[in-house]
Amino acid sequence: MDRYFMCIAAIGGFLGIAAGTFAAHVIKGQISEELLMSFKVGVQYQMYHSLALFAVAWAYTRWPGRLVAMVGWMMILGTIIFCGSLYAFALTEQAMFGQSAAAGGMILMIAWLMLAMVAFLGRSPANTAVPGTS
């Protein structure tokens, strides 16, 4: 699972750079500054969560289990919904896309809290290690 998350994180980073380049060289000047800013926020969060997915992959090597895997898949899904919605909103100006970004953001926040829980416990709940031990 860690290799899948690392691979998806690397692809997400690649696509984030591509989206940033697209914003800077193709759509800048073609859309309003407000819409461009929404697009750029999508790029930033895509990059943040691509890096975060590397952390999830590392966490999976240390505390393998369903909870860590769920965190990774939630980060992927949340990033797609949040960033994808911002990209679609910026390019189409359809308000429904801007509104659906909130769902992706909520998924990302829950994933971060779950990752904190795994780190605090020092294990995935499926593991039998005593909390606080390595």
The DSSP annotation for 81-98 comes to HHHHHHHHHHHH--HHHH
Q: What is the pLDDT of residue 125?
A: 56
Residue 71, classified by CB atoms within 10 Å of its CB into exposed (0-12), middle (13-18) or buried (19+), is buried
C-alpha 77/C-alpha 84 separation (Å) is 10
pTM of the complete model beyond 0.75 = yes
SS3 103: helix
Q: What is the pLDDT of residue 129?
A: 47
Instruction: Please give the radius of gyration of the chain, using alpha carbons only, rounded to the nearest integer.
Output: 17
Ranges of each domain in the chain: 2-121
C-alpha 11/C-alpha 9 separation (Å) is 5
pLDDT digits (tens, 9 = 90+) for 92-128: 998 888 789 999 999 999 999 999 999 998 765 555 4
- Between residues 129 and 20, the one the model is more confident about: 20
